[in-house]
Structures are given as C-alpha cells and as structure tokens.
Amino acid sequence: MKKQFLLLALILFSCKEVSENNKDVSTEINSKSVSVQQDSVVSLAYLKATAEKYTFETGVLDSGDLVTVVQGILGAQGFQELKDRFGVTVPIRIEENLFWVTGCMPHECSYDDAAIWADTYTNEVWIGIRTKGESVSFTNTEQVSPPQILTDWMKRPYISPSELPE
C-alpha cells in the first residue's frame, strides 16, 4: 500500500519542470499508468444494474466487488481519496458490458476529479485520478494503455480555479 502511494507521489512530482524564471510549470500527463495485479476472484456483473443511477443511490463505492478491486489497487487511504472525488457525480453509464462513471470534489470539478471504467465481463478496472490538473491512471490488469474513454478524460484541459468565472 505504501509502495502505491510512493509511486503515485513519484509520478506526480517527477512531472514538474522548472522554467527559466524558476517557477514550477506542470507538464501534461496523458498516459502515465500504474498496474496492480488483483489476487482474489471477483465478479463485476452486478454493476450492469446501476445504469443511469448515481453512485450514492447504488452504493457502488460503499461495498461490493468493485470496492474490493479498487481498494486492492489504491489501498484504503487511496480509495478514500478517490471516494472524496465523487462528491458530485453524473449518472453511471453502462454500454453493453462496460461501466463508466466520473465524479469530482464539490467546487473543484475542473481540477480534482476521478473516473472509474470497468469491464463487467472480464473484471478489468481502470481508475483515473486528476489532482490539480495532473492525471494518472491505475489498473488491475497488465494492459499498458487505458481504454479510449479514460484516455480522452485524462486529456481534458486543466482549468485553474483562478480562471473560473465568478
């Protein structure tokens, strides 16, 4: 668990550049990913019943095999940080066997948010977390590249709070 947070911190902090005037400039992270193998057998088929509902209605982030998988990937503290990013959500999308949901911290949707993609047939899970505009992905598989929907989500432009209209 500590290794995962250390790796996340290393990825996030190693993606900084110092400009000529010594100010930190964040670089765009589009395809950083961390893969964690899951040992236990799980089934995510139950997620199909959550279509068009909100995470707080379904409890998908409170209990069940999805929680088991995500905690296995992120650890308990990382999972809680992920859940904090689901204070504001959109309805869960299910297309065939694919589960997709995004959420964000209240009043911080453009720069502190998260996404979960799961294949309910293969039990493959991808998690995207954006912190202050920098994105990183995690998975329980050996796949190198995230699904296209998550890649597109990670490429969304960062909007600083100071840039938001009042």
Domain ranges of the chain: 28-158
How far apart CA 80 and CA 83 sit, in angstroms, is 5
More confident residue, 160 or 32: 160
Determine the 3-state secondary structure of 62 from DSSP.
coil
More confident residue, 68 or 4: 68
pLDDT (mean) for 8-35: 34
pLDDT at site 157: 76
Q: What angle do CA 147, 117, 76 make, to 5 degrees?
A: 125
> Is the per-residue pLDDT at 123 higher than 50?
yes
Q: Sorting pLDDT into bands at 50, 70 and 90, what band is 9?
A: very low
Percentage of residues of the chain with pLDDT beyond 90: 52
Phi-psi region of 42 (alpha: psi -120 to 50; beta: other; left: phi over 0): beta
Please provide residue 37's backbone torsions phi and psi, each rounded to the nearest 5 degrees. -80, 140
60: tokens are 């998908």
How far apart CA 70 and CA 116 sit, in angstroms, is 9
More confident residue, 18 or 80: 80
| % helix, strand, coil for the chain, step of 5 | 35, 25, 40
Instruction: Give the orientation angle of helix 2-14 with respect to helix 65-84, to 10 degrees.
Output: 50
Task: With beta carbons less than 8 A apart as the criterion, state whether 114 and 85 touch.
Answer: yes
What is the DSSP code (8-state) at residue 32? -
> Is the per-residue pLDDT at 161 higher than 90?
no
pLDDT (mean) for 39-44: 73
